[in-house]
Amino acid sequence: MPDRPSQRPPDPPGEPFGAEAPSLGAEWRRATLFLGLHDADDLRKRLDDCGIIDRLAELGFPSLHFEIEPLSIEGQSMRLFDERAAPERLLVELRARVREIVPTLRLVNEEPLRAVRMLGVEWGLLQNPRAAFTPDRPPLPDQRHPGLGLAGKATRLIEGFARDHHCDGVLSFPQHYHNAVIYAHRFVCFHPARQGALRAMMRDLTERGLAERSFAIDAGCLVGEPGGRSVAWKGSEMVLPISRRLADWVGSRFWRAEARQAERAHRWWIDWERFDRLPEKG
């Protein structure tokens, strides 16, 4: 029998995660190892295992410098530079923290999830400061330099960190539409209604390149049905499940039914005439 949508409307797309569980301990905030476990040598080995070191060498970065920020309550950063630490030589930055969060979202006929342990990616950067943008490879919103072509390898690296800390998954928050599209190769929106809306966007928004679509959405030129009104971009928590219970939850028939229901309900387009009239588009 095919899955059927729930008979009541899904939870409104509010905040699917509630308050964080109690602190993981003051000793974490004093740590100088990345996420309390990894020194520079370990980070280099992990980057090598993921193919990141070889890729950087191919791009002309054979000598790398690592920097690990002290752990704080806001998270911790690891940075990778070309030869020495300098802003203009920054290649890779990852800011993350382990978080235990109580999900507030509940699907019809399903028990709510217990607290989940997540590796939250607070910030990520992959850039080639020596490269230049081209008409075929224009800048994305907030992008100062072209990327390194390492998104897939970086995701495997982050997934490894999450497994080291016995996390249920990786948690990320797409600041822009293009982030969500890129994440969608491995991540899903935790809230099924937002997953359905994102799928509908990816289905309907096909004109022009991804960079221009993302700039247009940031500029308030996204229009949605039902309603036919301009809609501001609102990112939603996206997760890469690792544990069986989180994977089963976002793969359950109730979750999938609500996501399909939302996808069918939405139609999206971009008001390109309005966008083209804007004095500044990026």
pLDDT, tens digit (0-9, with 9 covering 90-100), for 85-136: 999 999 999 999 998 888 877 776 666 778 899 999 999 999 999 999 998 8
Instruction: Kindly indicate whether the domain formed by 17-191+235-242 is annotated with CATH number 3.40.630.
Output: yes
| Residue 262 pLDDT level (bands cut at 50, 70, 90) | very high
Please tell me the predicted confidence (pLDDT) of residue 226: 78
Please tell me the predicted confidence (pLDDT) of residue 189: 95
Please tell me the predicted confidence (pLDDT) of residue 110: 67
214-225 b/e with 16+ CB inside 10 Å = b? bbbbbbebbbbe
Query: How far is residue 240's CA from residue 179's CA, in Å, rounded to a whole number?
Result: 14
Please tell me the predicted confidence (pLDDT) of residue 112: 72
Here the tokens at position 252 are 């359950």
pLDDT, tens digit (0-9, with 9 covering 90-100), for 35-90: 888 888 899 999 999 999 999 999 999 999 999 988 777 789 999 999 999 999 99
